[in-house]
Chains A and B, each alone.
Chain A
Amino acid sequence: MAKVTHVKKACTVNPLKMSQPIGAALAFMGLRGAMPLLHGSQGCTSFGLVLFVRHFKEAIPLQTTAMSEVATVLGGYENVEQAILNIHKRTKPEIIGICSTGVTETKGDDVEGYIQLFRERHPELASLPLVYVSTPDFKDAFQDGWTKAVTRMVEVLVRVPAPGAVRDPGRIAVLPGCHLTPGDLEELRTIIEDFGLRPSFLPDLSRSLDGHIPEDFTPTTIGGIGVDEVATLGEAAWAVAIGEQMRPAAEALRTRAGVPFRLFPRLCGLAAMDEFIMFLSAASGRPVPAKYRRQRGQLVDAMLDGHFHIGGRKLAIAAEPDLLADVAGMLREMGAEITVAVTTTHSPVLSGIDAAEVLIGDLEDLERLAGERGCDLLVTHSHGRQAAARLGIPFFRVGIPMFDRLGAGHLLTVGYRGVRDLIFTISNLVIADAEQNHQPTPESWRLTEEDGAADGAQQKGQAA
C-alpha cells in the first residue's frame, strides 16, 4: 500500500542507518566460538565494537585486519593471513567470519582468492572454518549485511544430505532476522519446544549475547549455534524464516539441502502469532498447548485495554524494514496511524505497510515530518532521543543501538505474552505522557476569537 521514496539530499543528518559489515559481524556472533573479522581499517571494527558493547552491555568478540594506507594500496592478503593466524593463536576460535568493508572493496581485494591461497599455505588449519561475506559499507544497510552473512553460512557450512536421506520430522531450522533480540529467540525456542519440536537457530544470539554468566571465559563468542549443528541443518523437516530479510537464506537452505521453508514476515501481533502457532501445530501434529490458549486470551485482553491509548495515535517510526513492518504493523492493528515511516534500505515488505509512504532516509526526516504532521508517538532506536526531546512526544526505543537504557537484549516483540507486554509498555508511556503533559485545564476548551469568543461568548463555558 505504501509508496517507497528516497529522500533527495546530499547530506545525511542524524543517521538511522548503520553499515552492513557490522550487521554481518553480528550474525557471526550467533555462532559458538566465533570470531568475526572485519577486513578494513581498525576504526571500522572499533566503532562496531563500541556500538555493540553499549547495546548489549557484553564483551564483544570482533577483530580487524588493521589495514594501513600502504597495505590498502598494495592489497590485503598478508593482513588477512596474519589476522587469521593471530586469531587462531590467541583465541582458538571454532570459526572465523570475515566481512569486507568499504576500503578493501574499493581497492578490490579478492578475499575468496585470499582464502584459497591461505588454505594452500596453511594446511595445518584446514579444519578451521572460514566464511567470507562481501559487505561494502557504501551500499545497503545493517540488515542486508546480516542477510548476506547468514546466507553465506548456509552455503558454506550446511552439509548436503546424502541422496535419499530421511529428514528428521522433529527438527526445525529457524532463520531469524536481525530485528529479533536474544530474548525473542529464547521465547521462540520455548514455544517451538512446547510443541515437541527441536529448533536450531541460525544464527543464535540467545546463547551468546543474552547476557548470561558464561561457563567458561573465552575471547570468542560465549555461546551460539555450533558449526557442527549448522552442518546438519539440512536434515531438518522444516525451515522457518522470520522476516522477509531471511528469504535468501531460506532459499539457500532449500537449494542446498532441499529443506522446505515457511517465511513469517511478522510475529508481532495477534494474527501473525496465530499463523505461527498453527504452523507449529501442523508441523508437529500436536494440538496447541493450553498455555498458549491462555496466553492468546491475555493478548486479546491487553489489546482491548491498550486500544484506548494506542488507538488514534499518530505514529512516527524509523527502523530497518522488517522491524518497521513488524512493530508499526502491530500498532496499526491497535488503531494507531502510521503517519511517518522512515527506513534504511529497500525491501519487499515496505510496500505492504499500511501507510501512505515509506521514506528511505534519516532521523532528520523523521523529526521534521513528525513535527509537521503532529505525531504523538515516536518509535526508533536510541538515536531518536534528541528528536524526541525536541518534539516533546513519548518515545519508545526499538532496534539497535539501544545504548541509553538497559535490557535491549531482552525486549520482546514476539509471542503472545511478548506482544501483550509490549502493548502494556507502550500504552504506559502514552498514559504517563498524558498525565504529565496533557491534563485538561480551564483553558483547554476556551473558545477562540474564531469561535466568536470576542462577542462575549466566554460566558457559554465549555460549549465547544
Chain B
Amino acid sequence: MTTLSATIQEVFNEPACGKNAAKSEKERKKGCTKQLQPGGAAGGCAFDGAKIALQPLTDVAHLVHGPIACEGNSWDNRGAKSSGPSLWRTGFTTDINETDIVFGGEKRLYKAIREIIEKYDPPAVFVYQTCIPAMTGDDINAVAKAASAKFGKPVIPINAPGFVGPKNLGNKLAGEALLDHVIGTVEPDYTTPYDINIIGEYNLSGELWQVKPLLDALGIRVLSCISGDGRYREVAQSHRAKAAMMVCSKAMINVARKMEERYGIPFFEGSFYGIGDTSDSLREIARLLVSRGAPAELLDRTEALIAREEAKAWASIAPFKPRFAGKRVLLITGGVKSWSVVAALQEAGLEIAGTSVKKSTKEDKERIKELMGEDAHMIEDMTPREMYRMLKDAKADIMLSGGRSQFVALKAAMPWLDINQERHHAYMGYVGMVDLLREIAKTLFNPVWEQVRRPAPWDDPADNWQARALAEVVAPQLAAE
C-alpha cells in the first residue's frame, strides 16, 4: 500500500489545481476531498471513479479483482458509446471467495488474465484493485507484471480500491495508471501538426461524435481521446499530440498537467457544452496548434467554421426563445458540467433558479457566480424535501439533474430532464445544444403534467401531502414576518 499512498499524496499535491495551490502544506496532505460522512454519504468510491474514467476504452478487457459486488452489481451500466469494439461492455471479474481471501487471490487473478487473453485476445487487460484484495495484500502490480511478461501483452494494474476515497480520486488514480504504464509506450505511424488529445471526455450517449465532425472539418485529428470511444493503442501513442484539451473539469487534470511536463503538450481546460463554450474551445485548440507550428491559416478557417455553425445554431434556437421566456430551471448536478451547462441554458433565454455545486471545485463555483451574477442561488446540499419545496414553490419550472434525484421532481409532478451520466441524449457542441433545448421544450410543454397533477376525484386537494408540504414552507415565512 505504500506506493499507493504515495501516489494518492502526489495526486492531492496537484500543482496545476488552483484550489490546491492556495492551501497550506498541512491542508494539502489531508487531500482535496471532504471526509465522508457515515450515514450521510452518497456517490461512488475510488474504484467506481477509476472504472468510469477508463472503461470507455473500448478494445480493452477490464478485469475487476474483487468479490462479486464490485462488478456483478454494476457492469454494463455506462452510457458511453463505441464506434467499434464491444469488449469493454463485457464484465470480467475474479469473483473472489473465502479461499482467495485466506490463501491470497493472486493465483486466481493470474489465471483470470490468462483465460481472458486466450478467449478474447484483447490488445490490453486492465486489472482493477478493490478493497478486499488490497486488505489481504494481493499485489496486483506484481501479477500484472508477471502476466504481461508471460503473455507478451500489456496488463495494466489500476490501483484505486474503493475505500481510499471517492469517485473523483479514482478518476485521478486511473489517470496515474495511464501515465505510468500506457502513455508513451507506442509510437504513432505518422503525426501531423493537427494532432490533439481530448482528456476527460467519455463519449456518453455518443457526444464526442457531435463535436468530432467539427474537428474533422478543420482537419484536426484526435490522436487520442482519453477515454471516450478510445482504443488502447491511441492512448499509448498520445504523447505525440501537439496540444490537448481537458474536458471534464478537474477529473483528469493530473494527466493533462503531467503530459505537458513530460512531453511538452500544452493544454487548456474547456467545454463543448453550450454554443459560446464550443466556439471558445475550438478557438483555443486552433490557437494552441498554431503556437506549436501548425499553419496560421487554421485560425481563419476555425473562425469561418465557428461563424457558420453559430449562425446555424442560433437560427435553430430562435424559435425556442419566446417559448422559454420567464421559464426557470433548477440545475442539480455533480461538478462535471455545472458551469458549462449554466452558460448553455442562459443562451436559450432560460433563467437559472439555482444550481448544485456539491462536487464542483471552488473554482467551478466562482465561474458559476461570474456567469449568473452575485445573487446566484447556490445549493450546496439540498435535501429531497427542500428540492420539492423549491420546485413546488414555482421557483422552477423544470429540474435538470442526475438519475438519482429525478424522483423528487417526478413524484411532485414536475418536468424533469436527465443530464448526468445515465442520460440517453447527447448534448455536446452546436447540435447538442439545440437537442438539449428541444428536449427541454418537449418535457416542459408536455400536456401530461396537467393530467398527472389532477387530484383523484375522491381526494380533498386542500389536504394532500403536497398541500401540507407547502403549508410547512409558508408557515415559518409568515411567522418570520
Contact assessment for A219 and B163 in the assembled complex, using a CB-CB cutoff below 8 Å? no
CA distance A292 to B45 in the complex (A): 51
B131:A41 contact, CB within 8 angstroms:
yes
Check: A215 CB closer than 8 A to any chain B CB: yes
Contact indicator B115/A9 (Cβ below 8 Å): yes
Most buried by A among B112, B115, B403, B407: B407
- Residue A181 interfacial (CB < 8 Å): no
Residues of A contacting B404 in the complex (Cβ-Cβ under 8 angstroms): 49-50, 53, 59
Question: In this complex, what residue of B is CB-closest to A14?
Answer: B91
A221 to chain B, nearest CB (A): 13
CA gap between A46 and B69 in the complex, in Å: 11
Residues of A near B63 (CB, < 8 A) are 11
Question: A420-463 toward B: CB 8 Å interface, digit per residue (1/0)?
Answer: 00000000000000000000000000000000000000000000
> A126 an interface residue at 8 Å Cβ cutoff?
no
Known contacts A11-B116, A15-B93, A46-B44; decide if A403 and B77 are in contact (CB<8 Å).
Answer: yes
Given A17-B95, A66-B38, A69-B163: A141 and B68 interface contact (C-beta under 8 Å)? yes
Residues of B contacting A42 in the complex (Cβ-Cβ under 8 angstroms): 36, 41-45, 162, 166
Interface string of B376-406 (1 = CB under 8 A from A): 0000000111001000000000000001100
Q: Quick one: which of B46, B90, B135 contacts A106, CB cutoff 8 A?
A: B135
Q: Determine whether B108 belongs to the interface, using a CB cutoff of 8 Å to chain A.
A: yes
In the complex, whether A343 has a CB less than 8 A from a CB of chain B is no
Q: Which of the four size classes fits the interface of chain A?
A: 35 or more
- Is B291 interfacial (CB 8 A cutoff)? no
Interface with B: A77-85, A149-157, A297-305, A331-339, which one? A77-85
| Shortest Cβ distance from A82 into B: residue | B38
Quick one: given A72-B135, A219-B383, are A47 and B38 in contact (CB under 8 Å)? no
B175 located at the interface, meaning its Cβ lies under 8 Å from any Cβ of chain A in the complex: no
Are B465 and A214 in contact, CB atoms less than 8 angstroms apart?
A: yes
Are the CB atoms of A102 and B132 closer together than 8 Å?
Answer: yes
In the complex, B86 has a CB within 8 A of chain A: yes
In the bound complex, CA of A22 to CA of B48 (Å): 17
- Complex Cα spacing A84 to B464, Å: 31
- Residues of chain B within 8 A (CB-CB) of A86 are 37-40
Which residue among A13, A41, A101, A136 has the maximum number of chain B CB atoms within 10 Å of its CB?
A41
Q: Does B96 contact A (CB under 8 A)?
A: yes
Chain B residues lying within 8 Å of A54, measured Cβ to Cβ, are 77, 403, 422
Contacts of A63 in B (CB 8 A): 39-41
Chain A CB within 8 A of B411 CB: yes
Interface: B98 (CB within 8 A):
yes
Residue of B nearest to A56 (CB): B407
**Are B163 and A47 in contact, with the CB atoms below 8 A?**
no
Q: A42-B44, A217-B385 are in contact. Are A138 and B132 (CB under 8 A)?
A: yes
Q: A10-B111, A69-B161, A138-B101 are contacts. A80–B76 as well, Cβ < 8 Å? A: no
Q: Mark B49-81, 1 if CB is under 8 A from A, else 0.
A: 000000000000001001111111111110000
| A47 contacts B132, C-beta separation under 8 Å | no
**Do the beta carbons of A66 and B41 come within 8 Å of each other?**
yes
Question: Which residues of chain A from 1 to 30 have a CB within 8 Å of any chain B CB?
Answer: 9-15, 17-19, 21-22
Do the beta carbons of B69 and A19 come within 8 Å of each other?
A: yes
Q: Which of B39, B95, B465 contacts A15 (CB 8 A)?
A: B95
Q: Does A352 contact B (CB under 8 A)?
A: no
With contact pairs A12-B94, A217-B384 given, residues A43 and B47 touching in the complex (Cβ less than 8 Å): yes
Q: Closest approach, in angstroms, between the C-beta of A83 and any C-beta of chain B?
A: 3
B97 at the interface (CB under 8 A from A): yes
Contacts of B86 in A (CB 8 A): 386
Known contacts A42-B44, A138-B101, A217-B411; A15 and B136 CB within 8 A of each other: no
- Does A139 lie at the interface of the complex (its beta carbon under 8 Å from any beta carbon of B)? yes
A103 with B163: CB separation less than 8 A: yes
Q: Give the residue of A41, A66, A82, A138 whose beta carbon is less than 8 angstroms from that of B98.
A: A138
How far is it, in angstroms, between the C-alpha of A219 and the C-alpha of B408 when the chains are bound? 10
Interchain CB contact under 8 A, B67 and A19: yes
* A72 adjacent to B131 (CB under 8 Å): yes
Q: Which of B39, B74, B116 contacts A47 (CB 8 A)?
A: B74
Asked if B38 contacts A22 (CB within 8 A), the reply is no
> For B109, what are the chain A residues with a Cβ–Cβ distance below 8 Å?
10
Interface size bracket, B side = 35 or more
Contact among A43, A53, A72 for B70, CB-based, below 8 A: A43
The answer, yes or no, to whether B468 is at the interface (CB within 8 Å) is yes
A326 CB-CB contact with B under 8 Å: no
User: Which of B39, B114, B115 is within 8 Å of A65, CB to CB?
Assistant: B39
CB-CB nearest in chain B for A16: B72
**Inter-chain contacts of A50 with B (CB < 8 A):** 74, 77, 403-404, 422
- Evaluate whether A43 and B95 lie within 8 angstroms (CB atoms) in the complex, with A64-B38, A87-B39 already known: no
Query: Could you tell me the distance in whole angstroms from the C-beta of A387 to the nearest C-beta in chain B?
Result: 10
Q: How far is the CA of A69 from the CA of B169 in the complex (A)?
A: 14
Partner of A216 from B47, B76, B468 at Cβ < 8 Å: B468
B273 within 8 A of A: no
Contact between B403 and A47 (Cβ–Cβ < 8 Å)?
Answer: no
Q: Which residues of A contact B46 (CB under 8 A)?
A: 43
Would A21 and B115 count as touching, CB distance under 8 A? Answer: no
**In the complex, are the beta carbons of A22 and B69 less than 8 A apart?**
yes
Contact A90 B38 (CB under 8 A): no
**Cβ 8 A contact of A53, one of B1, B69, B403:** B403
Decide if B131 touches A386 in the complex (CB within 8 Å): no
A61 to chain B, nearest CB (A): 10
Q: With A and B bound together, what is the CA distance between A72 and B131 in angstroms?
A: 10
A67 CA to B132 CA in the complex, in Å? Answer: 12
Q: Are A47 and B44 in contact (CB under 8 A)?
A: yes
Q: Do residues A72 and B163 form an inter-chain contact, with CB atoms below 8 A?
A: yes
Q: Report yes or no: A13 in contact with B92, Cβ–Cβ below 8 A.
A: yes
Q: Which residues 341-392 of B sit at the A interface, judged by CB distance below 8 A?
A: 383-385, 388
A58 to B408 CA separation, bound complex (whole angstroms): 9
Instruction: Name B45's closest neighbour in chain A (CB-CB).
Output: A43
A217 contact set on B, CB distance < 8 A: 384-385, 388, 408, 411, 465, 469
Q: In the bound complex, what is the Cα–Cα distance between A107 and B94 (angstroms)?
A: 20
A11 to chain B, nearest CB (A): 4
The interface residues of chain A lying within 8 Å CB-to-CB of B93 are 11-12, 15
Least Cβ–Cβ distance between B122 and chain A, in angstroms: 12
Select which of B45, B111, B112, B136 is within 8 A of A41 by beta carbon. B45
Contact (Cβ within 8 A) B112 A11: yes
Residues in chain A within 8 A of chain B (CB atoms) = 9-15, 17-19, 21-22, 37, 40-51, 53-54, 57-59, 63-69, 71-73, 79-80, 82-87, 90, 101-103, 106-107, 136-139, 141, 213-217, 219, 383, 386, 403
Q: What are 10 A-to-B residue pairs whose CB atoms are below 8 Å? A: A11-B63, A13-B92, A15-B75, A54-B77, A59-B408, A59-B411, A66-B38, A67-B163, A79-B38, A138-B101
Q: Which 9 A-B pairs have the closest CB atoms?
A: A43-B45, A86-B39, A83-B39, A11-B112, A10-B111, A19-B69, A137-B67, A83-B38, A43-B162
A42-B162, A57-B407, A137-B69 known, 20 other contacts, Cβ within 8 Å:
A9-B115, A10-B109, A11-B63, A13-B92, A15-B95, A17-B72, A19-B67, A22-B73, A43-B47, A49-B404, A51-B73, A66-B41, A72-B135, A82-B37, A84-B39, A102-B67, A103-B163, A141-B68, A215-B464, A219-B383
By a beta-carbon cutoff of 8 Å, the part of chain B in contact with chain A is: 1, 36-48, 63, 66-77, 86, 89-98, 100-101, 108-109, 111-116, 119, 131-132, 134-136, 161-166, 383-385, 388, 403-404, 407-408, 411, 422, 464-465, 468-469
